[in-house]
Structure 1
Amino acid sequence: MRIAIPSKDDRGLESNIAMHFGRAPYYTYVDVDLEEKKILGVETIKVPFESHDPGNLPLFVKEHDGELVMAYGMGVRAQEFFNYMGIKVLTGVFGKVGDVVKALLEGKIYEIIEQDWKNKGDFEKSH
């Protein structure tokens, strides 16, 4: 499985997850084997646009073979775009990319519902 995670920086598994998926300067792609619970590879790609129209980021993720997007927060419309393209969405994650992927592989993350994500830290600063 190829996981796409919006990131603040270009440090691979040490990258910090961006609080606003739509304004992330990078996406870190992590290839994992869910059965073996292993990370197979990591690639960080700079988002090629600063502003975007609805659907641009799902297309960007699809072009890079993303199958799951793990993000801090995401609106319903954006989730619908991803789902339409066959990309699953898991929200409510924060911290370092590597820590979140490790938690997923260990079965510690399966469904997170974060109702108050818009009031957290960097999201407020970006709006």
Structure 2
Amino acid sequence: MKIAVTSETPQGLESMISHHFGRCPYYTIVTVENGAIASVQAIPNPGAGGHSPGELPALIKQLGVDVLLTGGMGPRAVDFFTRYGIEVVTGAQGTVHSAVEAYLAGRLRGYTPCKDHGKDKGHHHE
């Protein structure tokens, strides 16, 4: 299983979660095999400075990701991920490692729409 996590730095498991899916600086890709973390790779977000709707979900799909963990995401991006069969989980906090462990343990699940999305609060998601 591949898990993508929105992250602030390229520090792998120690990076802090980014709370903005579309504007996060990095995506940390965590490969899980037999319930354990097998590999970690940080990929710069090519759309951090701006992107078209659907661009970033398509990138995540091309990477073979099964699950995306993030602090927050707008409903439009969730629709793209749903079409691609990628599970979206919002509400992730702390480090990439703690979020992945919480997901694997079943403590981090589900999607809650970003409350400030679309209200001109500097909170613009894909």
TM-score range normalised by the length of the shorter chain: 0.7 to 0.9
Instruction: For 1:12-31, list aligned pairs within 5 A.
Output: 12-31=12-31
> SS of 1:93's equivalent?
coil
Task: Specify whether residues 60 and 126 from structure 1 end up closer, same or farther in structure 2 by C-alpha distance, changes over 3 A only.
Answer: same
1:115–1:79 Cα change, 3 Å? closer
Query: Do 1:31 and 1:39's aligned partners in 2 also have CA atoms closer than 8 Å?
Result: yes
Equivalent residue pairs, number: 120
Q: Does structure 2 conserve the Cα–Cα contact (< 8 Å) formed by 1:2 and 1:32? A: yes
What secondary structure sits across from 1:60 in the alignment?
A: helix
Aligned AA for 2:29? Y
Structure 1 or 2: more helix by fraction: 1
Q: Percent identity?
A: 40
Aligned runs of 1:20-99 on 2, under 5 Å?
Answer: 20-33=20-33, 36-49=34-47, 50-99=49-98
**Letter in structure 1 aligned against 2:39:** G
In structure 1, runs of 5+ residues without a counterpart are none
Unaligned runs of 5+ in 2: none
1:48, CA displacement in angstroms? Answer: 2.2
Q: Taking structure 2 as the reference length, what is the TM-score of the superposition?
A: 0.84
Q: Do the aligned partners of residues 112 and 62 (structure 1) sit closer, same or farther apart at CA in structure 2, a change above 3 Å counting?
A: closer
- CA RMSD between the two structures: 2.0
Residues 3-32 of structure 1, C-alpha deviations (whole Å, 9 max, x = no match) = 111111000000111111110111000111
1:23 match: secondary structure: coil
CA contact (8 A) 1:92 1:114 kept: no
CA distance in 1, matches of 2:110, 2:79: 17
